[in-house]
Structure 1
Amino acid sequence: MSLRLWLRPGLLGLHAFAALAIAFCIVMGLWQLGVYDSRKEHERADTQSVPRVAFEGLWGADEPFEGRLNHRPVTIEGSFAPADQQVWVRGKVQDGRAGAWLLSPVVVDDAAILVVRGWAPSVTDFPPVPEGTVSIEAVLEPGESGGAPFDPKTREIGSVRIPALTNELPHDLYSGFAISTSTSAAGGLALAETPSVDVPWTTGLRNLAYALQWWVFGAFALFMWWRMSTESVAAARAKVA
């Protein structure tokens, strides 16, 4: 009896309309969500496609690290400081394995920028540095914080904390560092992975809001269908009784 009341001709049209309305809202919400994801991917691609530029003249040694420099591909022309000035940066995970970065000062004019030459699964003796003037393709990154303090005996540190290393190296250091993407500078180590470009979740926020709005409409349509259907069935059941 109850099922027959739900399937009365007068309610079948309401069921069909509600199903179409809810499906439409779900599809429109998914479409807007896809637009939101697409805009984030486009923003990430635009950021990653920034052309490589010469490091010299881009940024001064006494200037702070600005947002325009983050993940910026550059070509560094300079010379490596002596090998005994290198530093191991522990706690760097790559391909699911813990390891360390090999950090070396590269002298550019009267200052030095710290360059990650590569990654190793364990700390070893410092490899020799390339001689003479070198050209290194790299990606700029801001200095890090936290981690274990610098150990002068082992020349190890827990992160690329430039203020801490400024006191340990005989150079005027830039306030950011670079991750080398040149195998010629790696000294036989694996190249360190460069961080992925982070795109704020607020990119395309309007499309995300539209997606949520469509789903709210769908929930409202479901609620109205349930309310109208139950009231109709209750009225029909009262007449039968």
Structure 2
Amino acid sequence: MTSLLRRLVAATLVALVLVGAAGALGWWQLEAWQARRAAEARDLTSAEPVPLTSVMGADDPFPGGDVGRPVTVSGTWLPEGSFLVPRSDAGRDGYWAVTPLALGAADAAVLVVRGWAPTTEVPAPSGAGEVTGWLQPPEGSGTAVDEDPSDDVLPELRVADAVQRVDTDLYSAYVVADAAGTGLEPASLASLPEAGRFTALRNLLYAIEWWVFGGFAAFIWWRWVRDTRAEAAADAVTDSPA
């Protein structure tokens, strides 16, 4: 009996170490998963503004980790490329007023949401312009239809539609100005970053894997204890005098 007890205690200690280690490693991977998702979905809206050209180039795809980042742009307004995008504000129907701003150094322009208006009577700016605002990815669900291509109202803020209105390349982004233009109200920020569905998925799978391993170790310990005790009980019955 003493030998059996020692074996049970030793097996239990080993099982506790294995289960504890698996649980700790799984928790570590879970925290890594949460940290990476939080880092991707960080709110940059209150960060210090930086030049747009330091965040992305004219031919670069939109940097997903910079949604909502404050940027500064300066150049020349392209009033002929101005258009409106239907957008409600606090339950009111209205429009975003959008005008391309040509950045001479980049030989390209970026779309700037100058503000919100309740009507389509919005004058376009001209001359030099300097804007501080929040960087946003271009829209484009692919389902919106422009019911009247002859007017200056576009259903979405799509770069592919806007580029047809100007004779220069456009950044694959737009900027929501933090200060509304003349005769406009401030436009609300369109979106903030969200962690992708598969962000740090490997860490989450590792966490599950470690916990499964811990559960398997606990199961093996339970089976071994059950079989060992059953074997000892059978030996005791065999060794007992008739």
Whether the aligned pair in 2 keeps the contact of 1:116 and 1:179 (CA below 8 Å) is: yes
8 Å CA contact retained: 2:138, 2:157? yes
CA, structure 1 residues 193+170, in 2 after alignment: closer, same or farther (shift >3 Å)?
closer
Report the Cα distance in structure 2 between the residues aligned to 1:147 and 1:99, rounded to whole angstroms.
20
Please say if residues 81 and 105 of structure 1, whose CA atoms lie closer than 8 Å, have aligned partners that are also in contact: yes
Q: Which residue of 1 aligns with 2:30?
A: 33
Maintained 8 Å contact 1:36/1:204? yes
Q: Who is 2:231 aligned against? A: 235
CA distance in 2: counterparts of 1:183 and 1:103, whole angstroms: 13
The residue type equivalent to 1:230 in the other structure is R
Per the TM alignment, residue 77 of structure 1 is displaced from its structure 2 partner at its CA by 1.6
- Is the 8 Å Cα contact of residues 180 and 187 (structure 2) preserved in structure 1? no
Q: 1:116 aligns with which of 113, 116, 124?
A: 113
User: Does 1:190 pair with 2:187?
Assistant: yes
Could you tell me which residue of structure 2 aligns to residue 219 of structure 1? 215
Task: Give the drift of 1:53.
Answer: 1.4
Q: Which amino acid aligns with 2:173?
A: F
SS of residue matched to 2:60: coil
Please name the residue that 1:135 is paired with. 130
Q: Which has the larger radius of gyration?
A: 2
The aligned residue for residue 105 of structure 1 is 99
| Aligned counterparts, 1:1-241, within 5 A | 9=5, 13=9, 14-15=11-12, 17-42=14-39, 52-53=50-51, 55=53, 59-60=57-58, 64-66=59-61, 71=66, 73-82=70-79, 85-89=82-86, 102-108=96-102, 109=104, 112-118=109-115, 124-129=119-124, 132-145=127-140, 146-150=142-146, 151-152=148-149, 155-167=152-164, 169-185=165-181, 187-196=184-193, 198=195, 201=198, 203=200, 205=202, 208=204, 210-238=206-234, 239-240=236-237
For residues 131-160 of structure 1, give each alpha carbon's deviation from its aligned partner in whole angstroms, at most 9, with x where no partner exists.
653311234445443131223366443432
Indicate how the Cα distance of structure 1 residues 73 and 230 shifts in structure 2: closer, same or farther if over 3 A, else same.
same
Separation of aligned partners in 2, 1:42 and 1:16: 39
Shift of 1:221: 0.8
TM norm structure 2: 0.64
Identity of aligned residues (%): 27
Residue of structure 2 in register with 1:3 after alignment = none
Question: Contact 2:84 / 2:96 at 8 angstroms: preserved in 1?
Answer: yes
TM-score under structure 1 length normalisation: 0.64
Deviation at 1:198, TM superposition (A): 4.8
Amino acid of the structure 1 residue aligned with 2:19 = I
- Distance in 1 (CA, whole Å) between partners of 2:12 and 2:179 is 65
Number of residue equivalences: 223
SS at match of 1:176: strand
Unaligned stretches of 5+ residues in structure 1: 1-7
Q: State the Cα distance separating 1:25 from its structure 2 match.
A: 1.8
How far did 1:18 drift? 3.0
Render the CA deviation track for 1:5-47: whole Å, top value 9, x for unaligned: xxx95686244653453233212210232134334545666x9
Structure 2 distance, partners of 1:69, 1:210, is: 25
**Structure 2: unaligned runs, 5 residues or longer:** none
